[in-house]
Structure 1
């Protein structure tokens, strides 16, 4: 079928593109349909390549992130293993049926696509045994996340596919029609615990050697740290042979089809074993296989060649209660393996055929290192060398020989000499006259510049440089004979020179290079500020140097000009006494370079701190006349800054300020001596409101021009929410106003009939400019 498919598809494509489907004869359409069906069934439907796998789940959270929600999020993982020495490739998508409780119809039928496919490497834990060629296994991981509503019933997740290989020794599967069921149950307990199932983190060992015992620790992990137990169990049946031929392709997804879609509900039938085999004895009577239920260690000794299928169940317990179980379907292959040892010696080169070359230029004494493989099968060693006509031998794993003089020497290293299981390495040693790597260093003095390296290496007669490699200790290299190099930073650098001659001789030389330049024209003194206050202001001093001099081994010493000193690239200084100071510095580099300097051109001025005080008049100002005059009484001050309680400022020496209303004001005066000497004081000014408002107790609206109206007098500016009301002795409201300027003229609401002579009651309420509520009430006599 594969041989004819290329030409067949070429003919079909030409026919389809030349002729519309409606124009094709019915017989031709049927023929194409049958051939396509045959190709699909033979290349993708039959899955006899599946040799193992499992299905597991992982709890990943609650829907919407709401902890405790009844909608649970799970990641389901289907892992399949196939023999890639034939058969179809993995399907691009698989259906996983989800059943709730004992329901016969699936609640969901998940379809997971785009598996992650990787090659499974063979087990090489025993280097003495060679697994026969042809081992080829692939692993596909199908995974997706879905939602389940918390239930008091179990959810069962199942995938089924046919068919197992026909040549399995321990099951009756000569027709190759026994299929696979991969299933896992999410129990109510697992749902309540928001638990994840155990899962295999690595494929169990599948290639075994007949007659060789193995101890295999199963790699199983549990995200929740629950207690796990391990048991041999039977793999499960699933699917069937239907749908694999031309006439029954439509049955492929049926319960007995080769790819049931959806998978059938449980319970599922166990895989039958042939006579003398069982789930607990998958290798039969001749082989040995035991599983430690606590550690998960498989101990296996196969004695019969063939393919064998078995199952491993891992049960999950929490607080002593069984909450989950996974089942791994495994197929192992038992083969004849070759015993292997390989004689090898650590060398400079080898021809891959058992011959090893070693070279030396500076030492005739060689310490050979035995790197043979399969050394757990080696019980004896033999080294032999012809040294100037004298045969020398050693009987140790590693060996040392002194060859004395330059020359070429041939020898042997033999594993298990005199036995059937032996191997020999031929060893060739070349001893050359010595070479010596060395060099001189020339620094640029105290300047910032290139360091010169002079290669003075001594070569043996007739030799020349093959390679030269300088490592300047700052991640920079050179292959020049005698290079120059400029360092970007000061420091001590370990410089290495490695040489290789045309005769294969190597040598290295190493020297410490101290590069600490100190050019006088590259250093600057920084002093901030240029004027400070005695006993209060700090002067910050620093030396600025180029990046090449940025290194802690430089010593900087300061003379502050007042008998005190300091050290460091950056220092702070506070002077006790006023005056003018010249500051000097001395920078000393490792190796002797030094630079001196001072600030004589711009000395530091230190001023005496001023003192501050002030008075004000009047001492008890009122809101009726809130103008206050201030008089400062500071010493050594030459500038002033007033803050009148946040209502205004002034730079005058003795200012006056009109406060907006009654209240308490924190007046602050800051005086300075120069730019940086400061002193300040705060005093409270109280603007009183007492006596500001008064209300007459009599008025006579008789039109004689005197005392005609009645209202509160002496109200201060800035009042708000003003209310003025007048009542008769019987409580009648005869006048009201919200205007502080409006007065009562003795008439009802200032417009009606005149009120009679007598006593009247008043109320006045308002809010002062300072935010204080003022309320006053009393009587007034109206005279006519």
Structure 2
């Protein structure tokens, strides 16, 4: 402001439009435009357009004695304008805040941040800057790809065209790197006898981090979030991709997956035929209820009549009468073996042979009653028909 140098005193007192202006709030703003009494740095964001005059008084002291006083007036013109550049960023785990961006990283110290600033035609220089306790990390690449010393909180900024008054911008970066999660587990089970698989959780978090939650997935539709060390029984054999997910108090999570090859033989062989007593010829379905087994297992049935089968649950036809022992052998894909003999499980009886006689053999008008007698072999049920009509269901009967 002219004149320069300033006019000599005396000075008239300046009258402020109040509210909101005052000697300590000459321009308003959010935050209020103010001066640091130690550094002399004038900062703030004006939110009203117009011309403002700000007076600054500087007093110099030495050993408690006032040496000099300097007063200066500064004129600021605040007007609405379109910025030529706008600092912004994006990417995984990058969240906007009121005064910049918050970036989080779960265990990884190599940080990537995408630069989404505009307008690229007016951006000539890019500076990423992070202040560490004993050094400053700088990068001049468009996108940030920087490795940090370890977990912790880092404050930084993205600067566009630094030092270029009127065509520059910046935004703060608040970076939080959390300790790394190490999910790990062991498992043990009897490889040849079907039974439970025991899982031991060996997970940990660097720098003494606390595990907030965990989840076991056993790859058979079963999930366990209650047992830190888990026990699980599989009903089906084969390769199961078991995974353990660990989550910390920062909502970071890591997962370890490992294939568990579960191919034991059944601890107990269970067979349920649909019929155990029938006549020749008899078709019997042998329902194999043993677990765990599937098509990868070697199955051998001996039906006791010289016939065999390799199916899991076969159908067999008996064509001769007798009492038959059933033997079932099971071998797993890794060579585990078990067998069971079911003695006298199936009874096949000869088919019945129908026969009868009656008396008297000659009937007349004076003697019209006749008795019928069963002469069948291997019979247990009787249906007597005369002229197509059912008349009796017992071995012997009389008919008039």
Cα distance in 2, alignment partners of residues 466 and 595 from structure 1: 43
Structure 1 equivalent of residue 339 of structure 2: 596
Q: Does 1:511 align with 2:255?
A: no
2:322 alignment partner, one of 579, 591, 611: 579
Q: Cα offset for 1:648? A: 1.5
> Within 1, Cα distance between the matches of 2:274 and 2:201?
49
Query: Distance between the aligned counterparts of 2:165 and 2:359, measured in 1?
Result: 123
Q: Is the 8 A contact 1:554 1:587 kept in 2?
A: no
Alignment of 1:129-528 (within 5 A): 343-346=88-91, 347=93, 351-361=97-107, 363-369=108-114, 384-386=127-129, 389=136, 391-395=138-142, 399=143, 401-403=145-147, 405-406=149-150, 411-413=156-158, 424-430=170-176, 436-443=182-189, 450-457=196-203, 459-460=205-206, 462-473=207-218, 474-478=221-225, 482-487=228-233, 489-490=235-236, 493-500=240-247, 506-514=253-261, 520=267, 522-528=268-274
Indicate how the Cα distance of structure 1 residues 348 and 628 shifts in structure 2: closer, same or farther if over 3 A, else same: farther
Matched residues in 2 for 1:553 and 1:348: separation? 50
Q: Does the Cα contact within 8 Å between 1:584 and 1:599 map onto a contact in 2?
A: yes
1:414–1:425 CA contact under 8 A, matched in 2: yes
**For the aligned residues, what is the CA RMSD?**
4.8
Unaligned runs of 5+ residues in structure 1 are 1-337, 659-784
Deviation by residue 1:561-596 (Cα, 9 ceiling, x = unmatched): 223223455332211222222111124456665542
TM superposition shift of 1:526: 2.4
Q: Is the 8 A contact 1:386 1:392 kept in 2?
A: yes
Compute the TM-score of the two structures, normalised by the length of structure 1. Answer: 0.32
- Separation of aligned partners in 1, 2:181 and 2:355: 88
Q: Which residue of 2 aligns with 1:560?
A: 303
Secondary structure of the residue aligned to 1:643 is strand
Which one scores higher on RCO, CA 8 angstroms, separation ≥ 6?
Answer: 2
Give the conservation status (yes or no) of the 8 Å contact 1:533–1:609: yes
Number of residue equivalences = 305
User: What secondary structure, in the 3-state scheme, does the structure 1 residue paired with 2:257 have?
Assistant: strand
Kindly indicate whether residue 383 of structure 2 is the aligned counterpart of residue 641 of structure 1: yes
Larger Rg, first or second structure (1 or 2): 1
Give the conservation status (yes or no) of the 8 Å contact 2:295–2:312.
Answer: no
Cα drift, residue 487 of structure 1 = 3.9
For normalisation by structure 2, the TM-score amounts to: 0.57
Q: How far apart, CA to CA, are the structure 2 residues paired with 1:400 and 1:463?
A: 29
Alignment map for 1:92-111 (pairs within 5 Å): none
Determine if contact 2:269/2:339 at 8 Å carries over to the other structure.
no
Sort the Cα spacing of 1:421 and 1:345 in 2 relative to 1 into closer, same or farther, 3 A.
farther
Aligned to 2:287: 542
Aligned to 2:34: none
On the 8 A contact 1:495/1:512 being kept in 2, the answer is yes
Q: How far is 1:428 from its partner?
A: 3.9
Q: 1:623 to 1:531 in 2, by over 3 A?
A: farther
Kept in 2: contact 1:613–1:633 (CA 8 A): yes
**Cα displacement (A) at 1:401:** 0.7
